[in-house]
Amino acid sequence: MEQLDILDVLGEGWSITPAGGITGEAYIASTGQSKLFLKRNSSPFLAILSADGIVPKLLWTKRIYSGDVISAQQFIEGDELDPTAMERPEVAKLLGKIHDSKELLFMLQQLDQRPIEPDELLRQCKIYFQPSGLARADLVEEAIAFLERQLPAVRSEEQVVCHSDLNHNNWLIGADGHLYLNDWDDAIIADRAYDLGMMLYSYVDEALWPEWFEQYGHPLTLDLKRRMHWYVVAQAVLSIYWYEDYDHPDRMDSYLFLEQLLES
């Protein structure tokens, strides 16, 4: 039924196939030599992302009888970035452009997006902490204690638009070499360290950080580095809760990662 209502919007001659992803709300529509990328109920600020060249060009949006809004974007022939490619200067430049965009920030503020403060992340870490359900409750408890101690030092007045899921699979390099960052459904307003922490710890060798930040457009100060470390510890704790709930095969690796963070 969900695919049929989209076909009604497209008209005759089109076929659609799921585009993958966790939500199952994305599709590829094809007819002859033409292709479109379709998404149900995309982020409302997709238009400004498209105008800035951050995502593939938005072609149209249409509301269907169910009340859902279908957006159609240009289908880009290209490849997702390999993890090793996340060190490329184009990645740093595009992320810097996003974080410095006043237009994106204004748009998200107009959508009544409340900034995510470090206090809120710490609160979430404490709420979900159930020692009896964790393989390494002692490690998580140590991490929460670290977050509490360092909280006053990581509060920041600066707020930017953060993508919040900078996995390499969300970066697309087109056949023409243009770089895009897709999947903006979880965009938030937060400290830039929220985005930077997990991305750099996951993909960029620390020896290359100063060079990476030159391309990003901001210096790597001791204060920013401290904030990045705090956020990545908080995100690691929250990911452990998620892994444990779903018995994820990577859950033990997540404990090792958290242990390494607390030793550094």
Domain ranges of the chain: 2-75, 81-263
**What's the CATH class of domain 2-75?**
alpha beta
Give me the tens of pLDDT residue by residue for the chain, a chain 264 residues long. Answer: 456 577 777 877 888 888 865 555 888 999 887 899 998 888 788 999 999 999 999 999 988 877 888 999 999 989 999 999 999 999 999 999 999 999 999 999 998 889 999 999 999 999 988 877 777 889 999 999 999 999 999 999 999 999 999 999 999 999 989 999 999 989 999 999 999 999 999 999 999 999 999 999 999 999 999 999 999 999 999 988 887 766 667 778 888 999 999 998
Question: Which sequence positions are flagged as catalytic?
Answer: 165
pTM, entire model: 0.89
What integer pLDDT is reported at residue 1 of this predicted model?
40
Domain 81-263 has CATH 3.40.718.10: no
Token pair 């982020």: residue = 43
What integer pLDDT is reported at residue 94 of this predicted model?
98
User: Pick from 250, 255, 252: which is nearest to 237 by CA?
Assistant: 255
With both helix axes pointing from N to C terminus, report the angle between 222-245 and 192-203 in degrees, rounded to the nearest 10.
Answer: 70
What integer pLDDT is reported at residue 2 of this predicted model?
54
In order, the DSSP letters of 127-181 are HH--GGG-TTHHHHHHHHHHHHHHHHHH--S--EEE-S---GGGEEEETTS-EEE
Q: CA–CA distance from 86 to each of 92, 168, 215, 246 (Å)? A: 8, 7, 13, 28
3-state SS assignment for residue 119: helix
Cα of first residue to Cα of last residue in the chain, in angstroms, is 52
Dihedral angle of Cα 215, 217, 223, 226, to the nearest 10 degrees: -40
What integer pLDDT is reported at residue 155 of this predicted model?
95
* Cα–Cα dist 264/38, whole Å: 43
